[in-house]
Chains A and B, each alone.
Chain A
Protein backbone atom coordinates (compact mmCIF):
# COMPACT_ATOMS: atom_id res chain seq x y z
CA UNK A 1 0.00 0.00 0.00
CA UNK A 2 2.76 2.41 1.01
CA UNK A 3 4.66 1.52 -2.16
CA UNK A 4 1.61 2.20 -4.31
CA UNK A 5 1.11 5.59 -2.66
CA UNK A 6 4.78 6.43 -3.13
CA UNK A 7 4.59 5.48 -6.82
CA UNK A 8 1.50 7.62 -7.35
CA UNK A 9 2.95 10.57 -5.45
CA UNK A 10 6.31 10.31 -7.25
CA UNK A 11 4.59 10.06 -10.62
CA UNK A 12 2.40 13.09 -9.91
CA UNK A 13 5.45 15.05 -8.78
CA UNK A 14 7.30 14.01 -11.93
CA UNK A 15 4.37 15.21 -14.04
CA UNK A 16 4.54 18.56 -12.25
CA UNK A 17 8.32 18.88 -12.58
CA UNK A 18 8.05 17.69 -16.19
CA UNK A 19 6.09 20.83 -17.08
CA UNK A 20 9.28 22.76 -16.43
CA UNK A 21 11.06 21.07 -19.31
CA UNK A 22 9.04 22.81 -22.05
CA UNK A 23 5.79 24.35 -20.91
CA UNK A 24 6.35 26.41 -17.80
CA UNK A 25 9.39 28.27 -16.56
CA UNK A 26 12.18 26.14 -17.94
CA UNK A 27 14.30 26.58 -14.84
CA UNK A 28 15.77 23.07 -15.32
CA UNK A 29 13.93 21.52 -12.36
CA UNK A 30 12.92 18.78 -14.79
CA UNK A 31 16.47 17.68 -15.47
CA UNK A 32 17.28 14.15 -14.37
CA UNK A 33 20.22 15.31 -12.22
CA UNK A 34 17.66 17.00 -9.95
CA UNK A 35 14.65 14.70 -10.36
CA UNK A 36 16.80 11.62 -9.64
CA UNK A 37 18.07 12.56 -6.16
CA UNK A 38 14.76 14.22 -5.25
CA UNK A 39 12.67 11.14 -6.03
CA UNK A 40 15.41 8.94 -4.58
CA UNK A 41 15.19 10.88 -1.34
CA UNK A 42 11.40 10.58 -1.27
CA UNK A 43 11.65 6.83 -1.91
CA UNK A 44 14.51 6.13 0.51
CA UNK A 45 17.39 5.78 -1.97
CA UNK A 46 18.93 9.24 -2.57
CA UNK A 47 22.34 7.88 -3.63
CA UNK A 48 20.94 5.54 -6.28
CA UNK A 49 18.56 8.27 -7.40
CA UNK A 50 21.45 10.72 -7.79
CA UNK A 51 23.52 8.20 -9.74
CA UNK A 52 20.69 7.26 -12.08
CA UNK A 53 19.82 10.94 -12.51
CA UNK A 54 23.27 12.28 -13.28
CA UNK A 55 24.10 9.43 -15.66
CA UNK A 56 20.85 9.96 -17.57
CA UNK A 57 21.67 13.65 -17.68
CA UNK A 58 25.09 12.91 -19.14
CA UNK A 59 23.60 10.60 -21.78
CA UNK A 60 20.73 12.87 -22.77
CA UNK A 61 22.91 15.99 -22.92
CA UNK A 62 24.06 14.71 -26.30
CA UNK A 63 20.66 15.53 -27.82
CA UNK A 64 19.84 19.23 -28.31
CA UNK A 65 16.16 20.26 -28.54
CA UNK A 66 16.44 22.36 -31.69
CA UNK A 67 14.37 22.25 -34.85
CA UNK A 68 11.86 19.43 -34.83
CA UNK A 69 13.87 17.28 -32.43
CA UNK A 70 11.98 16.04 -29.40
CA UNK A 71 14.78 14.91 -27.10
CA UNK A 72 14.47 12.05 -24.61
CA UNK A 73 12.60 13.22 -21.52
CA UNK A 74 14.97 13.32 -18.57
CA UNK A 75 12.28 13.71 -15.92
CA UNK A 76 10.34 10.67 -17.14
CA UNK A 77 13.55 8.67 -17.51
CA UNK A 78 14.87 9.51 -14.04
CA UNK A 79 11.49 8.84 -12.41
CA UNK A 80 11.08 5.49 -14.18
CA UNK A 81 14.63 4.52 -13.24
CA UNK A 82 14.33 5.48 -9.59
CA UNK A 83 10.93 3.80 -9.20
CA UNK A 84 12.19 0.67 -10.98
CA UNK A 85 14.80 0.40 -8.24
CA UNK A 86 12.91 1.74 -5.23
CA UNK A 87 9.46 0.31 -5.89
CA UNK A 88 10.18 -2.45 -8.41
CA UNK A 89 13.11 -3.82 -6.46
CA UNK A 90 15.46 -4.09 -9.44
CA UNK A 91 19.21 -3.51 -9.12
CA UNK A 92 20.24 0.13 -9.76
CA UNK A 93 22.14 -0.93 -12.89
CA UNK A 94 19.11 -2.53 -14.55
CA UNK A 95 16.87 0.27 -13.24
CA UNK A 96 19.14 2.81 -14.93
CA UNK A 97 18.80 1.18 -18.34
CA UNK A 98 15.04 0.91 -17.86
CA UNK A 99 15.02 4.63 -17.06
CA UNK A 100 17.11 5.41 -20.15
CA UNK A 101 14.66 3.46 -22.32
CA UNK A 102 11.66 5.13 -20.67
CA UNK A 103 13.08 8.60 -21.25
CA UNK A 104 13.86 7.89 -24.89
CA UNK A 105 10.47 6.25 -25.49
CA UNK A 106 8.69 9.34 -24.17
CA UNK A 107 9.71 11.37 -27.24
CA UNK A 108 7.04 9.90 -29.55
CA UNK A 109 4.45 10.25 -26.78
CA UNK A 110 5.35 13.91 -26.39
CA UNK A 111 5.21 14.38 -30.16
CA UNK A 112 1.66 13.02 -30.21
CA UNK A 113 0.58 15.28 -27.35
CA UNK A 114 2.02 18.30 -29.19
CA UNK A 115 0.39 17.25 -32.45
CA UNK A 116 -2.95 16.89 -30.68
CA UNK A 117 -2.80 20.59 -29.80
CA UNK A 118 -2.54 21.75 -33.43
CA UNK A 119 -6.33 21.72 -34.08
CA UNK A 120 -6.73 24.07 -31.11
CA UNK A 121 -5.52 26.98 -33.27
CA UNK A 122 -8.75 27.06 -35.26
CA UNK A 123 -10.81 26.89 -32.08
CA UNK A 124 -8.82 29.67 -30.42
CA UNK A 125 -9.21 31.91 -33.46
CA UNK A 126 -12.95 31.32 -33.52
CA UNK A 127 -13.09 32.12 -29.82
CA UNK A 128 -11.15 35.38 -30.26
CA UNK A 129 -13.32 36.39 -33.22
CA UNK A 130 -16.32 35.88 -30.97
CA UNK A 131 -14.80 38.34 -28.50
CA UNK A 132 -13.64 35.89 -25.86
CA UNK A 133 -9.97 36.65 -25.11
CA UNK A 134 -9.45 34.11 -22.34
CA UNK A 135 -6.38 32.29 -23.68
CA UNK A 136 -5.22 31.09 -20.28
CA UNK A 137 -7.73 28.24 -20.30
CA UNK A 138 -6.02 26.73 -23.36
CA UNK A 139 -2.63 26.99 -21.76
CA UNK A 140 -3.91 25.49 -18.51
CA UNK A 141 -5.59 22.66 -20.41
CA UNK A 142 -2.37 21.93 -22.29
CA UNK A 143 -0.38 21.76 -19.06
CA UNK A 144 -2.93 19.59 -17.29
CA UNK A 145 -2.96 17.10 -20.16
CA UNK A 146 0.83 17.00 -20.34
CA UNK A 147 1.05 16.54 -16.56
CA UNK A 148 -1.46 13.68 -16.58
CA UNK A 149 0.18 11.96 -19.56
CA UNK A 150 3.61 12.02 -17.96
CA UNK A 151 2.36 10.89 -14.56
CA UNK A 152 0.48 8.01 -16.18
CA UNK A 153 3.51 7.13 -18.27
CA UNK A 154 5.75 6.91 -15.19
CA UNK A 155 3.21 4.75 -13.35
CA UNK A 156 3.15 2.36 -16.35
CA UNK A 157 6.94 2.05 -16.33
CA UNK A 158 7.00 1.47 -12.57
CA UNK A 159 4.45 -1.31 -13.05
CA UNK A 160 6.50 -2.75 -15.88
CA UNK A 161 9.61 -2.74 -13.70
CA UNK A 162 7.74 -4.46 -10.88
CA UNK A 163 6.55 -7.12 -13.33
CA UNK A 164 10.09 -7.57 -14.61
CA UNK A 165 11.40 -7.97 -11.05
CA UNK A 166 8.97 -10.86 -10.59
CA UNK A 167 10.34 -12.74 -13.60
CA UNK A 168 12.42 -15.70 -12.41
CA UNK A 169 16.08 -15.46 -13.33
CA UNK A 170 16.16 -11.71 -13.82
CA UNK A 171 19.08 -11.57 -11.41
CA UNK A 172 21.18 -13.40 -13.99
CA UNK A 173 21.25 -10.15 -15.93
CA UNK A 174 22.90 -8.21 -13.11
CA UNK A 175 26.59 -9.08 -13.79
CA UNK A 176 26.17 -7.76 -17.33
CA UNK A 177 24.11 -4.70 -16.42
CA UNK A 178 26.46 -3.88 -13.50
CA UNK A 179 29.47 -3.83 -15.83
CA UNK A 180 27.68 -1.77 -18.48
CA UNK A 181 26.49 0.62 -15.74
CA UNK A 182 30.06 1.12 -14.54
CA UNK A 183 31.02 2.32 -18.03
CA UNK A 184 28.18 4.84 -18.35
CA UNK A 185 30.02 7.70 -16.56
CA UNK A 186 32.77 7.38 -19.14
CA UNK A 187 30.29 7.47 -21.98
CA UNK A 188 28.70 10.56 -20.44
CA UNK A 189 32.03 12.31 -19.95
CA UNK A 190 32.96 11.60 -23.56
CA UNK A 191 29.63 13.15 -24.59
CA UNK A 192 30.48 16.32 -22.69
CA UNK A 193 34.00 16.35 -24.12
CA UNK A 194 32.96 15.95 -27.76
CA UNK A 195 30.10 18.43 -27.37
CA UNK A 196 32.45 21.25 -26.34
CA UNK A 197 35.36 20.13 -28.48
CA UNK A 198 33.25 20.52 -31.62
CA UNK A 199 32.12 23.97 -30.49
CA UNK A 200 35.55 25.17 -29.43
CA UNK A 201 37.06 24.33 -32.80
CA UNK A 202 34.14 25.63 -34.86
CA UNK A 203 35.07 28.75 -36.81
Chain B
Protein backbone atom coordinates (compact mmCIF):
# COMPACT_ATOMS: atom_id res chain seq x y z
CA UNK B 1 0.00 0.00 0.00
CA UNK B 2 2.85 2.35 0.75
CA UNK B 3 6.60 2.36 1.15
CA UNK B 4 7.74 0.89 4.42
CA UNK B 5 10.07 3.77 5.16
CA UNK B 6 10.73 4.33 8.82
CA UNK B 7 11.09 8.08 9.27
CA UNK B 8 11.54 7.86 13.00
CA UNK B 9 14.64 5.72 12.52
CA UNK B 10 15.84 7.75 9.58
CA UNK B 11 15.34 10.93 11.52
CA UNK B 12 17.04 9.43 14.52
CA UNK B 13 19.98 8.46 12.34
CA UNK B 14 20.36 11.91 10.86
CA UNK B 15 19.81 13.93 13.97
CA UNK B 16 21.47 11.50 16.41
CA UNK B 17 18.41 11.86 18.60
CA UNK B 18 18.35 10.16 21.98
CA UNK B 19 15.34 8.17 23.14
CA UNK B 20 12.59 10.74 23.78
CA UNK B 21 12.08 11.72 27.37
CA UNK B 22 9.01 10.07 28.90
CA UNK B 23 6.48 12.91 28.58
CA UNK B 24 3.52 10.65 28.13
CA UNK B 25 0.67 12.64 26.56
CA UNK B 26 -2.78 12.60 28.16
CA UNK B 27 -4.30 9.90 25.95
CA UNK B 28 -7.68 10.00 27.73
CA UNK B 29 -8.15 13.70 26.98
CA UNK B 30 -7.10 13.18 23.36
CA UNK B 31 -9.48 10.24 23.09
CA UNK B 32 -12.42 12.31 24.36
CA UNK B 33 -11.59 15.21 22.06
CA UNK B 34 -11.26 12.93 19.04
CA UNK B 35 -15.05 12.46 19.04
CA UNK B 36 -15.20 16.06 17.76
CA UNK B 37 -12.55 15.69 15.08
CA UNK B 38 -15.03 16.61 12.34
CA UNK B 39 -16.82 19.37 14.25
CA UNK B 40 -15.38 22.14 12.08
CA UNK B 41 -14.97 20.12 8.88
CA UNK B 42 -14.42 22.47 5.96
CA UNK B 43 -13.65 22.18 2.27
CA UNK B 44 -10.34 23.96 2.48
CA UNK B 45 -8.51 21.82 5.05
CA UNK B 46 -11.10 19.23 6.05
CA UNK B 47 -10.53 17.91 9.62
CA UNK B 48 -7.59 20.19 10.43
CA UNK B 49 -9.21 22.14 13.27
CA UNK B 50 -10.57 19.00 14.90
CA UNK B 51 -7.17 17.32 14.60
CA UNK B 52 -5.36 20.26 16.18
CA UNK B 53 -8.02 20.40 18.91
CA UNK B 54 -7.58 16.68 19.66
CA UNK B 55 -3.79 16.92 19.72
CA UNK B 56 -3.69 20.03 21.88
CA UNK B 57 -3.57 18.25 25.31
CA UNK B 58 -0.49 16.34 24.15
CA UNK B 59 1.16 19.43 22.69
CA UNK B 60 0.58 21.39 25.90
CA UNK B 61 2.40 18.72 27.88
CA UNK B 62 5.20 18.26 25.33
CA UNK B 63 5.98 21.95 24.81
CA UNK B 64 6.07 23.95 28.05
CA UNK B 65 7.60 26.80 26.03
CA UNK B 66 4.79 28.99 24.73
CA UNK B 67 6.39 29.87 21.40
CA UNK B 68 7.18 26.26 20.58
CA UNK B 69 3.64 25.30 21.57
CA UNK B 70 2.13 27.91 19.24
CA UNK B 71 4.34 26.72 16.39
CA UNK B 72 3.31 23.11 17.02
CA UNK B 73 -0.40 23.94 16.99
CA UNK B 74 0.08 25.93 13.77
CA UNK B 75 1.73 22.89 12.17
CA UNK B 76 -1.42 20.88 12.73
CA UNK B 77 -3.86 23.43 11.36
CA UNK B 78 -2.69 22.38 7.91
CA UNK B 79 -4.79 20.08 5.72
CA UNK B 80 -5.82 16.75 7.24
CA UNK B 81 -8.49 14.26 6.24
CA UNK B 82 -9.17 10.64 7.01
CA UNK B 83 -11.97 8.36 8.14
CA UNK B 84 -13.04 9.76 11.52
CA UNK B 85 -12.97 6.48 13.47
CA UNK B 86 -9.48 5.70 12.19
CA UNK B 87 -8.08 9.19 12.78
CA UNK B 88 -6.79 8.17 16.19
CA UNK B 89 -4.14 5.93 14.64
CA UNK B 90 -2.67 9.09 13.09
CA UNK B 91 -3.30 11.15 16.21
CA UNK B 92 -1.33 8.77 18.46
CA UNK B 93 1.45 8.51 15.93
CA UNK B 94 1.83 12.27 15.56
CA UNK B 95 1.76 12.77 19.33
CA UNK B 96 4.68 10.38 19.59
CA UNK B 97 6.56 12.17 16.80
CA UNK B 98 6.03 15.54 18.44
CA UNK B 99 7.30 14.07 21.69
CA UNK B 100 10.40 12.75 19.91
CA UNK B 101 10.95 16.06 18.11
CA UNK B 102 10.75 17.98 21.39
CA UNK B 103 13.27 15.67 23.03
CA UNK B 104 15.73 15.74 20.11
CA UNK B 105 18.56 18.29 20.12
CA UNK B 106 17.93 18.84 16.39
CA UNK B 107 14.20 18.45 15.80
CA UNK B 108 14.39 19.50 12.13
CA UNK B 109 14.53 15.98 10.73
CA UNK B 110 11.53 14.87 12.79
CA UNK B 111 9.48 17.88 11.83
CA UNK B 112 10.39 17.44 8.17
CA UNK B 113 9.16 13.86 8.03
CA UNK B 114 5.99 14.55 10.04
CA UNK B 115 3.70 15.85 7.23
CA UNK B 116 4.65 12.90 5.01
CA UNK B 117 3.90 10.31 7.69
CA UNK B 118 0.66 12.09 8.57
CA UNK B 119 -0.49 12.21 4.96
CA UNK B 120 0.47 8.60 4.21
CA UNK B 121 -1.32 7.24 7.26
CA UNK B 122 -4.38 9.43 6.72
CA UNK B 123 -4.82 8.12 3.16
CA UNK B 124 -4.33 4.48 4.12
CA UNK B 125 -6.64 4.59 7.12
CA UNK B 126 -9.26 6.53 5.15
CA UNK B 127 -9.40 3.71 2.64
CA UNK B 128 -9.60 1.01 5.32
CA UNK B 129 -12.12 2.90 7.45
CA UNK B 130 -14.41 3.78 4.56
CA UNK B 131 -14.57 0.16 3.50
CA UNK B 132 -15.13 -1.23 6.99
CA UNK B 133 -17.50 1.32 8.47
CA UNK B 134 -19.36 3.11 5.67
CA UNK B 135 -19.26 0.27 3.19
CA UNK B 136 -20.03 -2.69 5.44
CA UNK B 137 -20.77 -2.18 9.13
CA UNK B 138 -23.25 0.66 8.65
CA UNK B 139 -25.48 -1.23 6.19
CA UNK B 140 -25.17 -4.28 8.43
CA UNK B 141 -26.74 -2.38 11.32
CA UNK B 142 -29.78 -1.84 9.08
CA UNK B 143 -29.86 -5.57 8.38
CA UNK B 144 -29.70 -6.27 12.12
CA UNK B 145 -32.59 -3.87 12.71
CA UNK B 146 -34.75 -5.57 10.06
CA UNK B 147 -33.93 -9.04 11.38
CA UNK B 148 -34.70 -8.07 14.99
CA UNK B 149 -38.03 -6.57 13.98
CA UNK B 150 -38.99 -9.55 11.83
CA UNK B 151 -37.91 -12.17 14.36
CA UNK B 152 -39.91 -10.33 17.04
CA UNK B 153 -42.98 -10.45 14.82
CA UNK B 154 -43.01 -6.95 13.34
CA UNK B 155 -43.29 -7.16 9.55
CA UNK B 156 -44.82 -3.71 9.11
CA UNK B 157 -41.55 -2.44 7.61
CA UNK B 158 -42.25 -4.66 4.59
CA UNK B 159 -46.03 -4.29 4.41
CA UNK B 160 -46.40 -0.53 4.57
CA UNK B 161 -50.21 -0.51 4.67
CA UNK B 162 -50.59 -3.26 7.24
CA UNK B 163 -52.09 -1.98 10.48
CA UNK B 164 -49.97 -3.73 13.09
CA UNK B 165 -49.25 -2.11 16.44
CA UNK B 166 -45.89 -3.26 17.78
CA UNK B 167 -44.61 -1.82 21.03
CA UNK B 168 -42.59 1.37 20.86
CA UNK B 169 -39.87 -0.48 22.75
CA UNK B 170 -39.48 -2.96 19.89
CA UNK B 171 -39.47 -0.17 17.30
CA UNK B 172 -36.60 1.54 19.12
CA UNK B 173 -34.81 -1.68 20.09
CA UNK B 174 -34.22 -2.65 16.44
CA UNK B 175 -32.09 0.35 15.49
CA UNK B 176 -30.58 0.67 18.98
CA UNK B 177 -29.18 -2.85 18.85
CA UNK B 178 -27.36 -2.03 15.61
CA UNK B 179 -26.18 1.30 17.02
CA UNK B 180 -24.82 -0.41 20.15
CA UNK B 181 -22.86 -3.00 18.19
CA UNK B 182 -21.54 -0.50 15.67
CA UNK B 183 -20.57 2.07 18.29
CA UNK B 184 -18.82 -0.56 20.40
CA UNK B 185 -16.57 -1.40 17.45
CA UNK B 186 -16.03 2.28 16.60
CA UNK B 187 -15.16 3.31 20.17
CA UNK B 188 -12.87 0.29 20.62
CA UNK B 189 -11.01 1.12 17.40
CA UNK B 190 -10.73 4.78 18.38
CA UNK B 191 -9.07 3.84 21.66
CA UNK B 192 -6.93 1.09 20.17
CA UNK B 193 -5.91 3.42 17.36
CA UNK B 194 -4.71 6.05 19.79
CA UNK B 195 -2.84 3.54 21.95
CA UNK B 196 -1.29 1.63 19.04
CA UNK B 197 -0.52 4.81 17.12
CA UNK B 198 1.30 6.21 20.13
CA UNK B 199 3.11 2.93 20.76
CA UNK B 200 4.53 2.64 17.23
CA UNK B 201 4.60 6.35 16.40
CA UNK B 202 6.98 7.69 13.80
CA UNK B 203 6.58 5.13 11.07
CA UNK B 204 4.53 5.47 7.90
CA UNK B 205 3.15 1.96 8.39
CA UNK B 206 2.25 2.40 12.05
CA UNK B 207 -0.98 0.63 12.91
CA UNK B 208 -1.54 -0.74 9.44
CA UNK B 209 -0.45 -4.16 10.62
CA UNK B 210 -2.45 -4.04 13.86
CA UNK B 211 -4.92 -6.54 12.44
CA UNK B 212 -5.40 -8.24 9.10
CA UNK B 213 -7.61 -5.52 7.60
CA UNK B 214 -8.17 -7.17 4.17
CA UNK B 215 -9.33 -10.35 5.90
CA UNK B 216 -11.78 -8.41 8.09
CA UNK B 217 -13.10 -6.56 5.05
CA UNK B 218 -13.60 -9.82 3.13
CA UNK B 219 -15.30 -11.42 6.12
CA UNK B 220 -17.68 -8.48 6.59
CA UNK B 221 -18.53 -8.53 2.87
CA UNK B 222 -19.40 -12.22 3.02
CA UNK B 223 -21.54 -11.84 6.17
CA UNK B 224 -23.31 -8.79 4.75
CA UNK B 225 -24.00 -10.55 1.49
CA UNK B 226 -25.38 -13.60 3.29
CA UNK B 227 -27.64 -11.38 5.42
CA UNK B 228 -28.84 -9.55 2.29
CA UNK B 229 -29.81 -12.81 0.63
CA UNK B 230 -31.48 -13.98 3.83
CA UNK B 231 -33.51 -10.77 4.06
CA UNK B 232 -34.53 -10.92 0.39
CA UNK B 233 -35.68 -14.54 0.76
CA UNK B 234 -37.45 -13.66 3.99
CA UNK B 235 -39.27 -10.80 2.25
CA UNK B 236 -40.41 -12.98 -0.65
CA UNK B 237 -41.44 -15.70 1.81
CA UNK B 238 -43.45 -13.24 3.89
CA UNK B 239 -45.14 -11.82 0.81
CA UNK B 240 -46.09 -15.31 -0.36
CA UNK B 241 -47.27 -16.25 3.13
CA UNK B 242 -49.47 -13.18 3.52
CA UNK B 243 -51.12 -13.70 0.11
CA UNK B 244 -51.15 -17.51 -0.03
CA UNK B 245 -54.67 -18.16 1.24
CA UNK B 246 -56.31 -15.06 -0.16
CA UNK B 247 -55.49 -14.92 -3.87
CA UNK B 248 -55.05 -17.12 -6.92
CA UNK B 249 -51.71 -18.59 -7.99
CA UNK B 250 -51.55 -16.17 -10.93
CA UNK B 251 -52.16 -13.17 -8.67
CA UNK B 252 -49.56 -14.45 -6.22
CA UNK B 253 -47.02 -14.81 -8.99
CA UNK B 254 -47.81 -11.29 -10.19
CA UNK B 255 -47.21 -9.90 -6.71
CA UNK B 256 -43.96 -11.79 -6.27
CA UNK B 257 -42.96 -10.68 -9.78
CA UNK B 258 -43.58 -7.06 -8.83
CA UNK B 259 -41.11 -7.35 -5.98
CA UNK B 260 -38.57 -8.93 -8.34
CA UNK B 261 -39.25 -6.21 -10.95
CA UNK B 262 -38.24 -3.55 -8.42
CA UNK B 263 -34.91 -5.36 -7.95
CA UNK B 264 -34.41 -5.40 -11.72
CA UNK B 265 -35.32 -1.70 -11.96
CA UNK B 266 -32.76 -0.87 -9.29
CA UNK B 267 -30.12 -2.92 -11.11
CA UNK B 268 -30.87 -1.05 -14.31
CA UNK B 269 -30.65 2.36 -12.68
CA UNK B 270 -27.28 1.38 -11.22
CA UNK B 271 -26.12 0.19 -14.64
CA UNK B 272 -26.93 3.63 -16.03
CA UNK B 273 -25.12 5.35 -13.18
CA UNK B 274 -28.28 6.66 -11.51
CA UNK B 275 -28.86 6.58 -7.77
CA UNK B 276 -31.59 4.74 -5.93
CA UNK B 277 -33.40 8.07 -5.51
CA UNK B 278 -33.89 8.15 -9.27
CA UNK B 279 -35.52 4.70 -9.11
CA UNK B 280 -37.73 5.83 -6.20
CA UNK B 281 -38.77 8.93 -8.14
CA UNK B 282 -39.53 6.84 -11.21
CA UNK B 283 -41.73 4.44 -9.20
CA UNK B 284 -43.55 7.38 -7.60
CA UNK B 285 -44.16 9.12 -10.93
CA UNK B 286 -45.50 5.97 -12.61
CA UNK B 287 -47.68 5.08 -9.61
CA UNK B 288 -49.20 8.55 -9.38
CA UNK B 289 -49.83 8.52 -13.12
CA UNK B 290 -51.55 5.12 -13.03
CA UNK B 291 -53.50 5.27 -9.80
CA UNK B 292 -54.05 8.98 -9.17
CA UNK B 293 -54.23 10.57 -12.64
CA UNK B 294 -55.61 7.69 -14.72
CA UNK B 295 -57.48 6.37 -11.65
CA UNK B 296 -56.87 2.68 -12.26
CA UNK B 297 -58.27 0.31 -9.63
CA UNK B 298 -55.89 0.20 -6.63
CA UNK B 299 -53.49 -2.74 -6.64
CA UNK B 300 -52.36 -4.08 -3.29
CA UNK B 301 -49.28 -6.21 -2.79
CA UNK B 302 -51.08 -7.91 0.10
CA UNK B 303 -54.57 -8.17 1.48
Contacts and interface: CB of A to CB of B under 8 A. Distances in A.
A139 interface: yes
Contacts, number: 269
Nearest to A130: B70
Interface string A55-87: 101110111111000001000000000000000
Interface in A106-127: 114-115, 117-118, 120-121, 124-125
Contacts of A47: 156, 164-166, 171
Given A51-B160, A59-B276, A128-B77, A117 B42 contact: yes
A115 B301 CA distance: 45
A25 interface: yes
Interface in A135-193: 135-136, 138-140, 142-143, 172-187, 189-193
Interface string B59-79: 010000010011001100100
A107 B8 CA distance: 42
Contacts of A31: 141, 175, 179
Interface string B202-243: 000000000000000000011011011101100100000000
B146 A180 contact: no
B263 to A, nearest CB: 4
B168 A194 contact: no
**What interface size band does chain B fall in?**
35 or more
Tell me what chain B mostly uses at the interface: helix, strand, loop, or mixed.
helix
A180 B267 contact: no
Given A100-B277, A129-B70, A194-B267, A185 B179 contact: no
18 contacts: A26-B38, A31-B141, A47-B166, A50-B157, A59-B280, A61-B139, A114-B41, A118-B44, A121-B42, A125-B77, A128-B73, A140-B39, A173-B292, A179-B291, A185-B160, A194-B270, A200-B222, A202-B221
Interface of A: 22-29, 31, 33-34, 37-38, 40-41, 46-47, 49-51, 53-55, 57-59, 61-66, 72, 92-93, 97, 100, 104, 114-115, 117-118, 120-121, 124-125, 128-129, 131, 133, 135-136, 138-140, 142-143, 172-187, 189-197, 199-200, 202
